[in-house]
Structure 1
């Protein structure tokens, strides 16, 4: 019995109790959450549904729980139901019902762990969004890994999510970028405030190849030509790096589009209609202090030019107009000051800043022994990190810690093939399960039969308990925006699998006389459990954007 199946049983039992008049409720809950109790002595599963419904049912929560417990005890597959504390319901399954989970996992395949916790949520998830003036570097690596893992988790939990990269291709940085490439074309030094790095010379060669006459053009025209060629070339390089890192965006949204399509003017008009615009000192101001910001924000300066904040407001409103009721921003530690102003801006636009916008601020990462890249500029480039440490090691490590905790990555650990390396530990468990299946199948063990009641060894009970936690782990990781929950779960599951593997043979044993014992249903059923474990390990690694090798 899966957690979802038990949840359905509790909900059906509740409906029966309401229909019979034992419990008085006008509406039934859409979902009933069941979770593993902290102690196995309290049963296989627990639910606090009685505590949640006591007030609308006008009943003592323990009395309500006992009414449900009496009916649940009669359900096939449930051996014991106890009411604990103020009204918790603890459920113990019989061995067959608990073991049935292994078959359900294998049959569910790559969709096992998917859930409906966030069904109906329409989300725009923006992350990375680096300026297209140079290669991605270590500062972007964490946001790429975390953002993509969160995207996968949200989708696995039923949300409709669009991954978006905001291209900062407007403003003075693009003028400086073009001037830097043009200086390289003429063999001049990098201009003050320009972008260092050999990649600029590479871009200059691309420009010269497409427009051999560019050096002879008047400077204003030359700058325009350089920008029109170098910008898409640099953006293509960024796309290629992200692709190598396993990160894909549904939408690449141009800041320049906001200006060209007059979306900033439209946004200001919308904010003015909401009554939160002031015209003073020749400028246009948004009264964000009315909604908790530390100061009001200028949208249009006294010279008539829009500010960066005006573009931020227009971008936010464009997301709303495109149908995204929820907007999630993943920003770096240096953007902590943006939280208050963006939430206040959302409130000025008439949205609920607690529901319609969410801003995740991540801390920085460092890598021991990482060297700056002269070619990429004064940075540690993501390309170099991928080549040095590998995508799997980087992505798993970066997803393994809460976003708000700094990370100091140790390359020696990540490159080691020992249990001290968390990604190796988990991937090895998957490879071991695949190898165990190959060996068992070579000795005639197959999936032709399944007898869940035979999975009674304490290590099997422990492994099944870990497997059952996966859907809820995925749902909670998505709801709390915490991919690290999945990584830590996988490490616990790997440990439970290794312990089971050491005690419970899948393939038949060899007798003292050298003959092999016949294949039994226990062998076949353990193969199902082995396959189920491999499937969950694979599904979890996939959610983190990490591969699951079948041999190592």
Structure 2
């Protein structure tokens, strides 16, 4: 019996109890809260439903809790129901009902825990979207891991997710990049506002290899266009290759420049002027974003007649909606907090629903080695890149380290810790549990012992040991963990859950011998424990898969 099934049962019994005593059933919450007590001696699960409802229906909480306990005591799958404190209800689940969780995992396989929370939703998930002016830095790397994991979690809850990368290949930063390339090609230092790093000389050299006469072009605009076209494409290709090697795959690479070339930006600006959403002041055109909850109005067309960044943002949002997305999630860096208001304001100015816009802000990532911060890349010069992190600790550890903390929190990645093959390294701890279970199941197969395809024939009611129960209940939490991770856009919950699951497995393994020793005969309990081991391994693999982290068979 999963926590969700138990919640439904408790609510059903509560409805019967209130009805039988002519009490108002509308006082019941839509969903009953079921929790695992910190002290296992208090029961398998607990609910505070009586405390929530008693005052609303005019009865003492302990009285209502006692009525609920009596109603639950005769239900299938309930081994006991006890009242504690002012009206808490502690519940014990029958071993065979609890074992049904194992059966569900083995039957459903990769889809165990998946749900329909987002069924029918078309979601555009935009993340990374780093400017193609240099290698991906740690901020973009964090989004590459967390954004990819979020996309997988949203899909597991029925969302139709399109993962999108917005290439900012227009504007002032690209101009600075081009000027820096030309300076590097000439053997000159970068402009004062330009970019530095040995990668620039590599890109500049490749531009000249492909177009040997590039520096000889007399017209500055034509020369800049050659460096822009080749140089930006080279950076695009490098970023895409790095993302691919990092196991982050996008469905769409959208080019900002396409909005300007197609005249979409100009068209939308014209529409906003017609609707009086723009006003002219100090030589520039301003969007009335304060009217829609932004902290100030924003310049859309600058004094020089060129569109500001927000002009492209408005056109990009309109394009997403035109493509049929009903939810647009933007994953932006720590310096983009102001975008929350302006993007919602842009939606409202287009007579659209601001609720179709969600903005997630990710905080900084710091690397530490030997107790000291790592500040610079050998190649990029002033930043630490994705490849620096991967070279130091590998893809699995890099992804896991970046995903396991809330994106709202700044994180320090200790390169020494994440390189260790010890249990204090979280990703090793989880992966080792999977590898250990794989080894047990291989050894079982060598002994001719397997979990039958017909799991119905396995007596899972034999799994009555405390550690077995704790492991099964931890497995049973997964569907709710996955649902909450999708609902709150928090993929780190999956990683933290996997660590809890690995911990529950290791405790079970210390207390409960799975395979027979020596000449001992296998028993039905052996088969039941093998089924539990197989279910645990399956769930570890499922969770690691959502994080795009390997689930090794051997370590």
TM-score (norm 1): 0.88
How far has the Cα of 1:58 moved from its partner? 8.2
Assess if the C-alpha contact under 8 Å between 1:44 and 1:93 holds in 2. Answer: yes
Counterpart CA distance in 2 for 1:401 and 1:131 is 25
Q: Counterpart in 1 of 2:462? A: 454
Assess if the C-alpha contact under 8 Å between 2:375 and 2:382 holds in 1. Answer: no
Q: Counterpart in 1 of 2:408? A: 404
Counterpart CA distance in 2 for 1:14 and 1:268 is 58
Q: Are 2:315 and 1:311 equivalent residues in the alignment?
A: no
Larger deviation: 481-490 or 492-501? 481-490
Q: Are 2:100 and 1:100 equivalent residues in the alignment?
A: yes
In structure 2, runs of 5+ residues without a counterpart are none
Q: Render the CA deviation track for 1:296-339: whole Å, top value 9, x for unaligned.
A: 11111233221112112222222222222222222222222333
> Cα gap change, 1:501/1:77 in structure 2, threshold over 3 Å: closer, same or farther?
same
Count of residue correspondences: 545
What secondary structure does 1:304 align onto?
coil
How far has the Cα of 1:23 moved from its partner? 8.3
Q: Render the CA deviation track for 1:236-275: whole Å, top value 9, x for unaligned.
A: 1000111111111111111111211222233334545665
Assess if the C-alpha contact under 8 Å between 1:440 and 1:506 holds in 2. Answer: no
> Where does 1:243-254 land on structure 2 (aligned, <5 Å)?
243-254=244-255
How far has the Cα of 1:170 moved from its partner? 0.4
How far has the Cα of 1:538 moved from its partner? 1.5
Counterpart CA distance in 1 for 2:494 and 2:507 is 20
How far has the Cα of 1:41 moved from its partner? 5.3
Q: Counterpart in 2 of 1:492? A: 500
What secondary structure does 1:368 align onto?
strand
Q: Counterpart in 2 of 1:513? A: none
Assess if the C-alpha contact under 8 Å between 2:109 and 2:538 holds in 1. Answer: yes
Q: Are 2:111 and 1:111 equivalent residues in the alignment?
A: yes
> Cα gap change, 1:14/1:209 in structure 2, threshold over 3 Å: closer, same or farther?
farther
> Where does 1:21-100 land on structure 2 (aligned, <5 Å)?
34-37=34-37, 40=40, 43-45=43-45, 73-81=73-81, 91-100=91-100
Larger deviation: 430-439 or 42-51? 42-51
What secondary structure does 1:164 align onto?
strand
Q: Counterpart in 2 of 1:544? A: 547
Counterpart CA distance in 2 for 1:71 and 1:192 is 77
**Equivalent of 1:501, from 497, 505, 509?**
509
In structure 1, runs of 5+ residues without a counterpart are 511-515
Counterpart CA distance in 2 for 1:312 and 1:171 is 12
> Cα gap change, 1:86/1:480 in structure 2, threshold over 3 Å: closer, same or farther?
farther
How far has the Cα of 1:278 moved from its partner? 2.3
Counterpart CA distance in 1 for 2:276 and 2:90 is 54
Larger deviation: 219-228 or 84-93? 84-93
> Cα gap change, 1:463/1:299 in structure 2, threshold over 3 Å: closer, same or farther?
same
Assess if the C-alpha contact under 8 Å between 2:366 and 2:412 holds in 1. Answer: yes
Assess if the C-alpha contact under 8 Å between 1:444 and 1:519 holds in 2. Answer: no
> Cα gap change, 1:323/1:34 in structure 2, threshold over 3 Å: closer, same or farther?
farther
Q: Are 2:433 and 1:425 equivalent residues in the alignment?
A: no
Assess if the C-alpha contact under 8 Å between 1:2 and 1:104 holds in 2. Answer: no
Q: Render the CA deviation track for 1:355-375: whole Å, top value 9, x for unaligned.
A: 322222222111124362343
Assess if the C-alpha contact under 8 Å between 1:23 and 1:64 holds in 2. Answer: no
What secondary structure does 2:423 align onto?
coil
What secondary structure does 2:485 align onto?
helix
Q: Counterpart in 2 of 1:142? A: 142
The alignment yields a C-alpha RMSD, in angstroms, of: 3.2
> Cα gap change, 1:443/1:400 in structure 2, threshold over 3 Å: closer, same or farther?
same
How far has the Cα of 1:212 moved from its partner? 3.0
What secondary structure does 1:367 align onto?
strand
What secondary structure does 2:541 align onto?
helix
> Cα gap change, 1:37/1:375 in structure 2, threshold over 3 Å: closer, same or farther?
same
**Equivalent of 1:532, from 526, 531, 535?**
535
Q: Are 2:330 and 1:329 equivalent residues in the alignment?
A: yes
Larger deviation: 15-24 or 355-364? 15-24
> Cα gap change, 1:503/1:69 in structure 2, threshold over 3 Å: closer, same or farther?
closer
Q: Are 2:342 and 1:341 equivalent residues in the alignment?
A: yes
What secondary structure does 2:250 align onto?
coil
Q: Render the CA deviation track for 1:426-449: whole Å, top value 9, x for unaligned.
A: 111111111111122222321135
> Where does 1:350-369 land on structure 2 (aligned, <5 Å)?
350-353=351-354, 355-369=355-369
Counterpart CA distance in 1 for 2:5 and 2:129 is 41
Assess if the C-alpha contact under 8 Å between 2:2 and 2:477 holds in 1. Answer: no
> Cα gap change, 1:212/1:23 in structure 2, threshold over 3 Å: closer, same or farther?
farther
Counterpart CA distance in 1 for 2:272 and 2:58 is 48
What secondary structure does 1:441 align onto?
helix
> Cα gap change, 1:327/1:87 in structure 2, threshold over 3 Å: closer, same or farther?
farther
Q: Counterpart in 1 of 2:174? A: 174
Q: Counterpart in 2 of 1:519? A: 522
> Cα gap change, 1:402/1:536 in structure 2, threshold over 3 Å: closer, same or farther?
same
